[in-house]
Structure 1
Amino acid sequence: MIRVVIVDDDPLVAESLKTILEISEEIEVLGTGNSGPEAVKLYLQERPDVLLTDIRMGESTGIEAAKEIFKQVPDAVILLLTTFSDDEYIREALQIGVKGYLIKQELASIVPAIKAVYNGQTVFGTEVVGKLASILTDQTPQKLNNIELSEREESILFAVANGKNNKEIAQELFLSEGTVRNNLSQLLEKLEVRDRTQLAIFYYRNYPQK
């Protein structure tokens, strides 16, 4: 059972999301909130597997709440849900390490997205994916410098950037999941990034042509 907390400044939206999620027998909603401070309080109180939070809220944004949560729980799994596909929000969300960014209109994708981030994947809504390359290449690229990636490492990097989990990567590259895990660990260390989200950012900054 995937344990979820929902936060949205519109109580009706929060309850509607709760109803949608609880249709799935694999998801349990532990509670709902309506502000950034409530998001932090509920997360620390309930310790859910996934926090699903709106961005624009009265007292503070969902991104500010996420930053506060990450200070105390660095491996928190946070999925942002918003009506705004604002470039700056997307950029900041990626930089702080959230696991996904969905547009509210894409309601059908919310349950699969929660399952995906719970299993370690990074998820972006269709509208967001279309903006990723331009958003990330607008910034100064992280330079490869003298770092050389093998063909396998580049293939794994590409797969991670496209949201594939270890099992899918293993099947695609004809490797064992253990080998994929080992290669991922080496890739994280070599590129000096902390997680799969940062690997995806690195990919889009340095391989925009692919």
Structure 2
Amino acid sequence: MKIIIVDDDTLVSTSLKTIIEANENFKVIATASNGAEAIRLYKEHIPDILLMDIRMGRVSGLDAAEEILNTFPKAKILFLTTFADDEYIVKALKIGAKGYILKQHYNSIVPALNAVCSGQNVFGEQIISKLPTVAFDMENKKDYKEYGLLDKEYVIIKLVAKGLSNKEIAKEIYLGEGTVRNYLSVILDKLNLRDRTQLAIFYFNNLQK
């Protein structure tokens, strides 16, 4: 698999190249130090994965990713950054990045590359914990915790009430479709409900403000 690394710290790029190429499945074919170079190199090489930092000079990683994905919608872009800012996470999700992991979790880099290569979306544990709050406005909800519901369970109930299918929910909150089915099974058991219709009715009667 061909990888391009984009980071404005040369030492980081060199270290990443060493870590990645220790796995025989990957070859780092180019490195860049800013988003403008990333765009040029992506067009030139069409790598399997673009591994990119977010905060960089000239053109940021997010802006570069957005431009690349507008031209190459199937591009696989994995963000590797030290910043877990909500604003960055939201934009990364909206533009269609395949993953967002933190540099300090360097042991997860190669597994993340493997996962992205196989078509999965990858978000570090710290990022996943933020998804329900950064992706949805939950300020006006009633207290769903009195029903023993978790944040993500509430989000799924809300999407069911909007009429979304399991596949659509999975895409919306970046989970596998099977994981959504498992969540729904747990939710129905918790609330002693039979099906999605009852769940939607429960939401409108008890959770919607």
- The TM-score normalised by the length of structure 1 is 0.70
Distance 1:87 1:95 in 2: 12
Q: Which residue of 2 aligns with 1:136?
A: 135
Q: How many residues align?
A: 165
Q: Which residue of 1 aligns with 2:163?
A: 147
- The TM-score normalised by the length of structure 2 is 0.70
Note the aligned Cα RMSD (angstroms).
Answer: 3.0
1:14 equivalent in alignment to 2:30: no
Q: Which residue of 2 aligns with 1:39?
A: 38
What are the residue-to-residue correspondences of 1:1-210 with 2, within 5 Å?
2-138=1-137, 147=163, 149=165, 153=166, 157=169, 163-164=175-176, 169=178
Identity of aligned residues (%): 44
Task: Give unpaired runs (5+ residues) of structure 2.
Answer: 140-154, 183-206
CA gap 1:139/1:88 in 2 versus in 1, 3 angstroms: farther
Q: Is the 8 A contact 2:84 2:102 kept in 1?
A: yes
CA gap 1:69/1:139 in 2 versus in 1, 3 angstroms: farther
Cα displacement string for residues 49-108 of structure 1 (whole angstroms, at most 9, x for unaligned residues): 000000000112100000110121111000001100000000000000000001100100
Q: Given residue 28 of structure 2, which amino acid in structure 1 is its aligned partner?
A: V
Q: Given residue 137 of structure 2, which amino acid in structure 1 is its aligned partner?
A: D
CA gap 1:22/1:148 in 2 versus in 1, 3 angstroms: closer
Q: Given residue 73 of structure 2, which amino acid in structure 1 is its aligned partner?
A: P
Task: Give unpaired runs (5+ residues) of structure 1.
Answer: 174-208
